[in-house]
Amino acid sequence: MNAVIDAINKRRSIRAYEAKPVPRELVNTVIEAGNEAPSAMNSQPWRFVVVEDPAVKRKLLDAALPQAKKITEQVKDVDPERYQSIKRRYAELPDPVYYSAPTIIFVIGNGRYAAHSCPLACENMMLAAHSLGLGTCWVGFGAMVTEDGSVRKLLDLQEGDAIFGPVLLGYPKGEAMRPPKKEPKVKWL
């Protein structure tokens, strides 16, 4: 099978990581893959912030978790099963947002084309990481840190910046199951 198609088919969102740091050269390879993503008007509206420091990760968790819990409450009546699953995760895991990943890569974008282009950089990074034997998880709740001024300063967030990701990176602990997939909705004209 084609190596790219194989990587797309086998990549999984990893929510359990070995307590083993990712070598900087591999982190840089993943970031370089993100930087190779297509972007609207070749704008390349992204920049990357890599977090490995445990104290900074704790600060991020402390900023993100209350926001994530607020959003989770909105799911309570709409999707009770998912709500209970998320509540169990909050109770069981020491880090239910970043899953104790050794590396967190924030993809930060600004400008007119960021919303279209930065997700492409994230996907390139996740596929590259998979091809290197690393696991990733894109965590929307992990971006909910912008209410905390000290975190904004740490990430050097400027007016108009948005976080796309973050992308967790590390060595998978165990194997993730393939989630059920819906058939693609296609209209041929």
What is the tens place of the pLDDT at every residue in 114-147? Answer: 999 999 999 999 999 999 999 999 999 999 999 9
Q: Is the predicted pLDDT of residue 99 greater than 90, yes or no?
A: yes
Q: Considering its fold, how many domains does the chain have in total?
A: 1
Report d(CA 188, CA 59) in Å as an integer: 49
What is the tens place of the pLDDT at every residue in 151-162? Answer: 999 999 999 999
Report d(CA 169, CA 21) in Å as an integer: 9
| Cβ neighbours for 71, distance < 8 A, ≥ 6 positions apart | 141, 144
Query: Does residue 12 belong to any structural domain of this protein?
Result: no
CATH number for the domain spanning 126: value is: 3.40.109.10
Find the domain containing 39 and state its range: 20-170
